[in-house]
């Protein structure tokens, strides 16, 4: 989703131990010769660690639960990279990419069973189902731009937030502010990523492009359909339309609004240290100005 520099001065021992456990579980003598272990998605790690810390769990339980969530998340993410592996000459990359994804995510059964976390096992299973259903919908007819930005966002929120919400419902259901923290921080990251991405050809169904389609007039939509069909190829016009409708500014403002909601929810939740840690996240979500790519001011 989005990578951030994770502060480690708040709980240094726990942080190092969780990361070490995750990479130890990902390690496989043969797989790692071909498939590099992923860079851990810091936003997932920060939120999962914070939710687990807010619950009445031992340090060992927190470590195992957070490691499990990260293994599932990256196991599912590896499957999204299969097209990249397929493009390589050696067929083993594709085959091992599939195996790596299964290897990472399947470990959650053992880790949670060993910890006696049967309820969370079921919650994660339902989250995995929701994630796969969201991915399937996003993959259906990718040349159709009539999907609303709101629906695209809902599907992406499922992909990047379902596991965190499963953890929240299991261990922090009596702390309602966590719902807002997870929902709006995931949404802020999605808006920030969309704002920072440079428009390119061929056009894909991104949040920026869906936002543009919703505002385009009939003549522009006619041209857009030709662009999607590959009948025309004009990156300059695509860029000019994004500038005309202020796509970057719109997405940037949405990201800032979501961050404001997260800040308010964290204050209400009264979680010591979390707001300070998230400041780094907020800064990185809004640090890249879009002027260089679209000529717009945020």
Confirm if 13 and 53 have CB atoms less than 8 A apart: no
Alpha-carbon distance of 264 to 207, in angstroms, equals 26
Classify residue 6 by its DSSP letter: P
Q: Residue 199's CB: how many other CB atoms inside 10 A?
A: 19
pLDDT of 295 > 50? The answer is no
Domain extents in the chain: 1-174, 175-298
Residue-wise pLDDT tens digits, 192-237: 999 999 999 999 999 999 999 999 999 999 999 999 999 999 999 9
CATH assignment of 1-174? 1.10.600.10
pLDDT score, position 92: 63
Which of helix, strand or coil describes residue 297?
A: coil
| pLDDT tens for each residue of 27-84 | 876 666 666 777 889 899 999 999 998 887 888 888 899 999 998 998 888 756 555 5
Interatomic CA distance for residues 260 and 244, integer angstroms? 27
pLDDT in tens, 72-120: 998 888 756 555 545 455 666 556 656 766 777 778 888 888 888 889 9
Residue 271 · residue 46 · CB < 8 Å: no
pTM confidence score? 0.87
Residue 22 in this model has a pLDDT that exceeds 80: yes
Average pLDDT, the chain: 85
Q: Is residue 87 a contact partner of residue 69, using CB atoms and an 8 Å limit? A: no
Chain centre distance of CA 60: 26
pLDDT value for 76: 86
| Cα 39 from Cα 60, distance rounded (Å) | 23
Helix axes 149-171, 42-54, angle to 10 degrees: 40
pLDDT surpassing 60 at residue 5: no
């Amino acid at each position: 989703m989005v990578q951030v520099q994770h502060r480690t001065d708040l709980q240094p021992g726990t942080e190092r131990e969780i990361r070490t456990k995750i990479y130890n579980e990902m390690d496989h003598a043969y797989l790692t010769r071909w498939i590099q272990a992923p860079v851990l998605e810091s936003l997932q790690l920060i939120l999962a660690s914070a939710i687990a810390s807010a619950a009445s769990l031992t340090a060992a339980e927190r470590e195992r639960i957070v490691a499990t969530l990260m293994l599932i998340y990256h196991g599912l993410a590896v499957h999204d990279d299969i097209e990249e592996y397929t493009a390589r000459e050696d067929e083993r990359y594709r085959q091992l990419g599939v195996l790596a994804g299964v290897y990472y995510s399947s470990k959650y059964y053992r880790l949670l069973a060993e910890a006696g976390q049967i309820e969370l096992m079921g919650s994660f299973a339902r989250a995995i189902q929701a994630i796969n259903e969201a991915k399937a919908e996003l993959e259906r007819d990718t040349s159709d731009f009539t999907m609303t930005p709101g629906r695209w966002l809902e599907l992406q929120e499922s992909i990047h937030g379902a596991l965190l919400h499963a953890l929240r419902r299991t261990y922090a259901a009596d702390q309602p502010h966590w719902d807002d923290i997870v929902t709006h921080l995931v949404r802020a990251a999605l808006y920030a990523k969309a704002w920072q991405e440079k428009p390119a050809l061929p056009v894909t169904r991104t949040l920026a492009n869906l936002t543009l389609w919703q505002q385009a007039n009939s003549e522009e939509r006619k041209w857009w359909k030709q662009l999607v069909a590959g009948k025309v190829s004009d990156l300059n016009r695509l860029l000019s339309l994004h500038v005309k409708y202020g796509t970057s500014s719109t997405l940037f403002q949405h990201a800032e609004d979501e961050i404001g909601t997260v800040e308010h929810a964290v204050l209400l939740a009264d979680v010591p240290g979390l707001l300070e840690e998230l400041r780094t996240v907020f800064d990185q979500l809004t640090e890249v100005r879009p002027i260089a790519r679209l000529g717009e001011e945020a």
